[in-house]
Amino acid sequence: MSNPLLAAYRYTTNNWTMIQESRLCGCCNCMQTFPPDEIVGWTGLDFNQVDDPVAVAKQTAMCPRCGSEAVLGDKSGYPIDQPFLSRMNEAWFQRTLIRPSKPKA
């Protein structure tokens, strides 16, 4: 993929393994950084999967600061810093979620 922001975004889901191997994580929504052991919320697993290592590895991290599923770890190879998180934030949350309303007919 040519756009590094698009490529980075896929690391914000099913990222349990990557987060475990990261030393620093950041959130594309609130743009805060935190160590991986601050992440206590995960989505994507239900009670009958807790012993399934494949399902566990596909959990998605929730940001400990804002609760968004928008967490990246430095293991992804991307810089977890303010300039990068701010670019991710702009590219995704602002452009994809806030759209101009259609003109009324």
Between residues 58 and 65, which has the closer beta carbon with respect to Zn ion? Answer: 65
Element (H, E) at 53: helix 53-57
Q: Using CA atoms, how far apart are residues 57 and 9, in angstroms rounded to an integer?
A: 17
Return residues touching Zn ion (CB under 5 A).
27, 29-30, 63, 65-66, 68
Closest C-alpha to 12, from 89, 101, 81? 89
State in angstroms the smallest separation of the CB of 64 from Zn ion: 8
Cβ–Cβ < 8 Å for 62, 19: no
- Please tell me the total number of residues recorded for the chain in this structure: 105
CB of 62 to Zn ion, least distance (A): 8
Considering the complex, what minimum distance in angstroms separates the CB of residue 69 from Zn ion?
9
Nearer to Zn ion, 16 or 28 (CB): 28
Token code pair at residue 82 = 């303010």
User: Which one, 13 or 68, has the nearer CB to Zn ion?
Assistant: 68
Identify which of residues 1 and 40 has a Cβ nearer to Zn ion in the complex.
40
Closest alpha carbon to 38 in 56, 23, 57, 17: 23
Q: How far is the CB of 97 from Zn ion (least distance, A)?
A: 14
